[in-house]
Amino acid sequence: MTMNSQDALDWNVLTNQWLKVTDLNAEIRVYSPLEGLKRSSTIRCIAAANPLDLFASYRFLVTLLYWKADVGGGVHQLRKSLLRGEMPRIVLDAIEAETSAFRLFDGQSPFLQDPLLKNMKKQYWKSAGSLFAELACGTNIAHFHHGDDIAMRLCLPCATIGMLRIVPWTQAGGAGLSPAVHNAPPIVAMAIGENLTVMLGLNLVELRGKAGEARWSGHFKPSDGHAAIPYMEAFTWNPRRVYLRSVEANGICWRCGCHEVPVVGPVFYAKNENTQLTKKGRKTIPFIWQDPSAFYDPDAPYVAIKSYDEEFSARGRDLIGLIGSKDARPTAAVLQSNIKHHGWRLVVPCTNPANNKTYDHRQLEVASLSSDVLRDLVPAAPLPWRQQEVDGWTSRNAARLPNGATVFVQSAIRLLTHADWTVLACAAYRPMHESPAAFDLLSGLLWALRGRKVSRLPSRNVAWLILKLMGAVPSDVRVLRHKSTFCPLDVLPKRQLERRGGRGARSPYPVSLPRGPRLEAALRSAIAENMRKRTPEPIDWAGLCCALDELLSQKQNR
């Protein structure tokens, strides 16, 4: 994207090109949203890898059509036109006439921002990652490093999709940070059509209640938080007070990786006290609003169904909430308006019960949203998995130490010279074919032992790794002791996700044993840490050799 500073300041969410689509010839194009609407009959679908980006883009286009539906005869008439594959020109002209409402850096009414924040002090600026639940933003415990958060920059297309995600996907979290109007993130459905025109028509459904006014800019304040929310107000409901700083030229986008592009960051990003949910005792009272794409249970008509359990999400069982029973099945307005339609996309973000952390998002394409189809997607029982200790791999068994591992290590210590160990030390992190001299030492040692019919020798790959590790330590550490107690495998970093379920419960996400250079680096680090101790423990080289052989050896490697 080549753009000078003035062009960047004139960035318009409606007319600038940032929307990636796939046309009917399966080619990727980049259009502005207005171009996308005009060319919708030639577009297969929006091309966005992130499910939340995908839904936010579709929702923005649908919101534009709801906004100007009256000039096309109302929502019902506009829907009929779209389902015939026709995009009324009068509606497009009405949208285009409002282009000024979508300027991202407008001095008076910047898109989805509060211009009153422009003079806030520097200490109130936040990371640009605040616009995305999956990016580090200073307080999210799911991200292990926050030292560079404030330096994060976003290109203008990424900043645009981040702003559009605020309305449908904002979560709770932090001191007084309220979620989106539907207490998101809910599981949402989108009907799929033969082209973008038809798809927009399928998802443009008639809604009960008043239309209200769209709130494209300013400090958002609900017209009446205790009454039914007008749908245009809900589609532009902003639970945050946001303001983007001026554009920096020739930056790098931390999200998409584009270089030498205009970027923004940091941003002002704070709670909107006007969108707080009310409470009655300890019970939170939801707003009177049903998102047309979200599912609601008849017994809780304003509480959107969501995926809130990480274990259920991993197993695909979070969809069970959409099935319900014969008498009370959850449904969505878009489903009720397209009851016989075939071809649906489900967007399933997984959060936690407090609705303030994001674990994962996924999307599914299904033929229909009938109970039978959804039931087939839900495993009847938990997926089988066998937890082997906390890391998903079995630690060494010192009681079963084979003779071959001990003989190999003893032979290496006895036969290899100082010069040989120096050659092996220089082979660090290299495969065998890149270190001919070191490989000659390995083959001479290992093949000689095989010729003597020594049983249960380590595999070639394990023997290569052991020799490189032994070559990296001083000669007084390269010895076999009767009571060696230290094995580097035992202290590899372990990560165990907590799981509810009582004593002894384990996570379905065991961390796998690292492979290749990662394993060698981890073992070297563990050995070095042991050697830095005031009294290092003797290294059990034979036990390490045996354990690695059990974990890594395969027949084709022998």
SS3 annotation, 450-461 = HHCCCCCCCCHH
pLDDT at position 554: 45
What is the per-residue pLDDT for 283?
A: 82
pLDDT at 444 over 60: yes
Least confident of 79-88, 418-427, 463-472, 512-521: 512-521
Look at 134 and 84; give whichever has higher pLDDT: 84
Average pLDDT score over the chain? 85
pLDDT tens for each residue of 197-234? 999 999 999 998 899 999 999 999 999 888 999 999 99
The Cβ-side half-sphere exposure at 299, using a 13 Å CA radius, reads: 6
Name the nearest CA neighbour of 40 among 167, 187, 197.
Answer: 197
Query: Residue 295 has what pLDDT?
Result: 94
Backbone φ and ψ for 495, nearest 5 degrees, come out as -130, 120
Q: Residue with structure tokens 């595999």?
A: 459
CA angle, 130 then 109 then 150, to 5°: 25
In the block, tokens 């459905």 appear at 189
Cis previous bond, 431, omega within 30: no
Q: What is the mean pLDDT of residues 346-373?
A: 82
For the beta carbon of residue 129, count every other beta carbon within 10 angstroms: 27
Cis peptide before 301 (omega within 30 of 0): no
Distances (CA, A) of 90 to 38, 47, 61, 164, 278: 11, 27, 16, 25, 41
pLDDT(173) > 80: no
What tokens appear for 207 in the block?
A: 């809604």
* pLDDT for the residue 492: 76
**Mean pLDDT across 313-339:** 84
Amino acid at 443: S
Q: Which residues pair with 12 in a beta bridge?
A: 103
Q: In whole angstroms, what separates CA 354 from the centre of its chain?
A: 18
Q: What is the DSSP letter of 556?
A: G
Angle, CA of 183, 188 and 190, to the nearest 5°: 145
> Are the beta carbons of 438 and 423 closer than 8 angstroms?
yes
Q: What are phi and psi of 81, to 5 degrees?
A: -65, -45
Statement: residue 166 has pLDDT above 70: yes
Instruction: Read off the pLDDT of residues 100-148 as tens digits, 9 standing for 90 and up.
Output: 999 999 989 999 999 998 888 877 788 898 888 887 676 555 555 666 7
pLDDT at 398: 53
What is the rounded average pLDDT of the residues 500-515?
57
Q: Is residue 387 predicted with pLDDT exceeding 50?
A: no
What is the spatial distance between Cα 25 and Cα 28, in angstroms, rounded to a whole number?
9
**Residue 409 to residue 129: CA distance in whole angstroms:** 51
Residue 423 tokens, joined: 């050659």
Q: Say which residue the tokens 């084979």 belong to.
A: 402
Average pLDDT over residues 337-358: 84
Residue 461, pLDDT > 60, answer yes
- Measured between alpha carbons, how far is 464 from 444 in angstroms, rounded to an integer? 12
Asked if the model's pLDDT at residue 59 lies above 60, the reply is yes
pLDDT band at 359 (very low <50, low <70, confident <90, very high): low
Tokens of 193: 């059509």
Cα(19)–Cα(13) distance, rounded to whole angstroms? 10
The type of residue at 185 is P
CA dihedral of 224, 226, 228, 233, whole degrees rounded to 10? 40
Largest CA distance in the chain: 92
Mean pLDDT of 251-255: 91
Distance CA 340, CA 558 (A): 59
- Residue 507 reports pLDDT greater than 70: no
The CA-CA-CA angle for residues 267, 273, 279, to 5°, reads: 140
Higher per-residue pLDDT: 46 or 245:
46
Count H helices and E strands in the chain, helices first. 17, 16
- Rounded Cα distance between 176 and 271, Å, is 7
Identify whether the C-beta of residue 46 lies closer than 8 Å to the C-beta of residue 57. yes
3-state DSSP assignment of residue 233: helix
Residue type at position 494: K
How many other C-beta atoms can be found within 10 angstroms of the C-beta atom of residue 219? Answer: 15
Measure the CA–CA gap between 427 and 429, rounded to whole angstroms.
Answer: 6
Q: Report the percentage of the chain scoring pLDDT > 90.
A: 49
The letter for the amino acid at 3 is M
Q: Which residues contact 434 (CB under 8 A, 6 or more apart)?
A: 427
With contact defined as beta carbons under 8 Å apart, do 153 and 264 qualify? yes
Q: In the numeric block, which tokens belong to residue 420?
A: 């040989």
Greater model confidence, 272 or 388: 272
For the residues of 180-232, what is the DSSP string, one character each?
-TTSSPPPEEEE--SSHHHHHHHH----SS-------SSS---S-TTSBPPHH
Residue 442 pLDDT exceeds 60: yes
Sheet bearing 240-244, strands edge to edge: 125-126, 267-271, 240-244
Residue 325: predicted pLDDT = 66
CA distances from 347 to 52, 186, 187, 248, 295 (A): 7, 9, 6, 34, 12
Query: What is the C-alpha separation between 158 and 53, in angstroms, rounded?
Result: 10
Say if residue 54 is exposed, middle or buried (CB neighbours under 10 Å; 0-12, 13-18, 19+): buried
